[in-house]
Amino acid sequence: MRIRFGLMGFMMVGHLGAFDLVLDVGHTPKQSGAMSATCTQEYQYNRTLATHVDRYVRQHSGINVVLNSSQARPEISFRDRYASSYGKDLFLSLHHDSVQKQYLHFDVNGCPSSTHGLGFSLFVSRKNPYFSASLAYAQKIGVQLIAQGLHPSTHHSEPIAGENRELADAALGIYLFDDLKVLKFAKSPAVLLESGVIVNPWEEQVVRTEAYQDKIAKAIASVENP
C-alpha cells in the first residue's frame, strides 16, 4: 500500500510494494440495483464487469486486486464493504446506471427503457477521509476512459429530484455525492463508477461486449501509475 504520514506538519507519500485495489461489486443478487432495458439485473452486469476487470488487472498490471464479493458469498453487507477497504490504496465500486422514473418507458414485459442517459459517471464524496486522493484517482480513470473513446454522462447534474449532483469535473464525468454510503464510510480513497446506462437500449448492448469491458479495465489498470 501507499503510506501516508505526517512529520512536523510535513506530508510525505511513500510507496511500499504493490498498489492495493478493492473491486467492489455493486449491489447483491437480492438487492440487485437497476433493471436494464432487457430486464437484466444491474448486479449481473456489475458482477461480470468486476470479474473481467479483476482478470485484466491481474494479467496486465502490478496491482494487488481483491474482488470483495465472491460467488460463494454474494450477499455482502455494507459493513463488510467498508471493512474491505481498510489499508487499501483505492476502493472502487462498480455499477451500471439508470435514469429518473419520469424518463422511463416500459415495454409489454415491463422492461424499462430511456434514451435520456448515456455514458459513464464517476462519483466521489467530500466526506471520505481521503477526498483529494479519491478525486485524483477519479480524474485518472476519467482521463483514461475518454482516451479509450468513452463519453462522460451529464444527466446526474440536471436540477431535478434524485439528481442535482454537483460536477467536480464536467469534462471527466466526475460528480460529488457526499453521502453515498460506500464512499463516505470507506476507510481508503474511494470512487464509484457507473460504467454505462443500462436502461438505454443501445448502451446496454455496448456494455455487454468484451471490447467495452476491456476499455474499462485498461482505464482502471492506470491507477497504479503516479
Question: What is the contact surface with Zn ion in residues (CB under 5 A)?
Answer: 26, 33, 95
Smaller CB distance to Zn ion: residue 95 or 155?
A: 95
What sign for the dihedral angle of Cα 79, 80, 84, 86?
A: positive
Smaller CB distance to Zn ion: residue 2 or 208?
A: 208
d(CA 88, CA 21): 6
d(CA 146, CA 131): 22
As measured in angstroms, the least distance from the Cβ of 2 to Zn ion is 28
The torsion angle over the Cα atoms of residues 184, 63, 221 and 36, rounded to 10 degrees, is -60
Contact in structure between 97 and 194 (CB atoms under 8 Å) = yes
Smaller CB distance to Zn ion: residue 26 or 173?
A: 26
d(CA 117, CA 39): 17
As measured in angstroms, the least distance from the Cβ of 94 to Zn ion is 9
Smaller CB distance to Zn ion: residue 2 or 27?
A: 27
Contact in structure between 165 and 66 (CB atoms under 8 Å) = no
As measured in angstroms, the least distance from the Cβ of 194 to Zn ion is 7
As measured in angstroms, the least distance from the Cβ of 42 to Zn ion is 5
Q: DSSP letter string over 49-115? A: HHHHHHHHHHHHS--EEEES--SSS----HHHHHHHTTT-SEEEEEEEE---GGG-EE-TT--EE-S
What sign for the dihedral angle of Cα 16, 22, 55, 150?
A: negative
As measured in angstroms, the least distance from the Cβ of 47 to Zn ion is 12
Residue with cell 465500486: 93
As measured in angstroms, the least distance from the Cβ of 34 to Zn ion is 6
As measured in angstroms, the least distance from the Cβ of 103 to Zn ion is 17
Helix, strand, or coil (residue 135): helix
Smaller CB distance to Zn ion: residue 27 or 140?
A: 27
Smaller CB distance to Zn ion: residue 26 or 117?
A: 26
Residue number of the CB atom closest to Zn ion: 95
Smaller CB distance to Zn ion: residue 31 or 225?
A: 31
